[in-house]
Amino acid sequence: MGRVTISFEMTLDGVFDQMEQWFDPEDPGVQRASDALVFGADAVLLGRESYEFFREYWPAQTDDRGFAAHYNALPKFVASTTLSGPLDWNATLIEGDVAEAVRSLRERYESIISHGYGGLAATLVDAGLVDEIHAGIHPFIVGNARDRLRTPHPVSLRLLDAQTYDSGIIAARYAPA
């Protein structure tokens, strides 16, 4: 059975957006962690907002590592109640029950990654479909922003690994306890 890994970047105070203030995609530690996750994946699971943001950004990207080419080629599955198919960028709209669709995807794909921690991630956690959570915690406090980490109920996690990069970013890997 395939594994589902949720990956996201956030500030110390739990902010996911306003990234232009705090996210540095050129950080070597962030690149190493992203490479390990993406090159090990064979499918991507996205919510509508992440899909719309990434589909505008990634198709035009190139790099020496082959990261962009690999990411663009991966099959993507999008959970949305407002989009209608067909979708572009090698994406398929999930229709019907998201948890059931992801259970089916786990039968077909060995390693599924999902980016962000919004409604889709909360649904996956609630359904017990998440094997790992990768959090990049950036040394920045936005302040006066709404905390966006959410789940329908408390979730206990156990630490699998943590690394600190020279930039002060902490990369933590968790699994459900």
Q: Where are the domains of the chain?
A: 3-176
How many residues are present in the chain?
Answer: 177
Measured between alpha carbons, how far is residue 161 from residues 10, 20, 109, 144, 164 in Å?
17, 27, 24, 30, 10
Rg of the chain over CA atoms, in angstroms?
A: 16
Domain 3-176 = CATH 3.40.718.10: no
The average pLDDT across 15-41 equals 85
Residues 78-120 have pLDDT tens digits of 999 999 979 999 999 999 999 999 999 999 999 999 998 888 9
The average pLDDT across 135-152 equals 79
For 78, phi then psi, to 5°, come to: -115, 125
Measured between alpha carbons, how far is residue 148 from residues 14, 15, 109, 117, 151 in Å?
6, 6, 29, 7, 10
When mean pLDDT is compared across 14-28, 52-66, 79-93, 125-139, the lowest value belongs to 14-28
